[in-house]
Structures are given as structure tokens and as C-alpha cells.
């Protein structure tokens, strides 16, 4: 069965596991493009860096938040590498080591690595 739709509100915050069963991180953001009039997810952002990316505009306005030790690591995962056949347990079809890393610099609003 080919997967076509999912409720984003059920996916955001869900833990993604890789093909080895290891936790990659929580799904924090989705990148969407309009293709032939339909909204299509092209990329998933997973992990602490993705969460910070999502709220970075707010964080840069509050300097004291820069002292909270958020992790600045995360992953960009192409839509073709995410298995949503069971939306309550999404998983990445590749090992974590094969995923594209993303990271944020301290100048983008957060400090500390965990």
C-alpha cells in the first residue's frame, strides 16, 4: 500500500528510529513545497537543531535563552527515507550514520551541546 496522507499534528514531536532501531531524534519540522497544486513534504528535520531552527526567531529576541544548554545537532531526512506506513511509529529507512547532519552555531541563538 502506498502512503499518501498523514496528520502533521500527529507526526510533530514523534520519535524517529533508524533502520537499526536506534533513536534518531524527534521530528520537529517539515519542509513543504507545492507540487501540481498539492502540498508535498520534501524533507523532515529531526533532533534538537531542528527544534531550535523552528523557534530561532523567538530565541534571538531573548538573550537569556542562549544560556540554556540545547543540543545543536540534528538531521535533515529526505521524504523518501521516511517510512510512514504506521504514522504512530514513523521510522527512517537508513542507518542514522548515513543521514545528512544539520547543526546550529552559537550565533543562531543557543549555547551548549549535549
Confidence class of residue 108 from pLDDT cuts 50, 70 and 90?
very low
How big is the CA angle at 50 (ends 45 and 53), to the nearest 5 degrees? 125
Query: Maximum CA pair distance of the chain?
Result: 49
55 contacts 65 by C-beta, under 8 angstroms: no
What's the N-to-C CA distance of the chain in angstroms?
A: 39
Measured in residues, the chain has a length of 114
What average pLDDT does this structure show over 62-88? 78
Domains of the chain with bracketed CATH: 8-108 (2.30.30.240)
pLDDT at 70 over 60: no
pLDDT (tens digit per residue) in 11-37: 888 999 999 999 999 998 888 999 999
User: Model pTM greater than 0.75?
Assistant: no
73 contacts 49 by C-beta, under 8 angstroms: yes
> What is the structure's pLDDT at 112?
39
Show the DSSP H helices in the chain as ranges. 8-11, 48-61
What average pLDDT does this structure show over 34-46? 90
Amino acid at each position: 500500500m502506498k502512503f499518501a496522507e498523514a496528520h502533521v499534528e500527529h507526526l510533530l514531536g514523534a520519535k524517529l528510529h533508524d533502520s537499526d532501531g536506534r533513536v534518531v531524534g524527534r521530528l520537529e519540522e517539515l519542509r513543504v513545497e507545492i507540487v501540481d497544486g498539492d502540498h508535498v513534504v520534501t524533507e523532515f528535520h529531526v533532533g534538537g537543531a531542528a527544534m531550535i531552527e523552528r523557534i530561532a526567531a523567538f530565541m534571538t529576541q531573548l538573550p537569556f535563552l542562549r544560556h540554556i544548554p540545547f543540543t545543536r545537532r540534528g538531521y535533515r531526512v529526505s521524504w523518501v527515507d521516511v517510512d510512514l506506513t504506521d504514522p504512530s511509529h514513523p521510522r527512517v529507512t537508513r542507518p542514522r550514520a548515513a543521514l545528512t547532519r544539520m547543526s546550529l552555531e552559537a550565533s543562531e541563538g543557543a549555547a551548549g551541546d549535549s
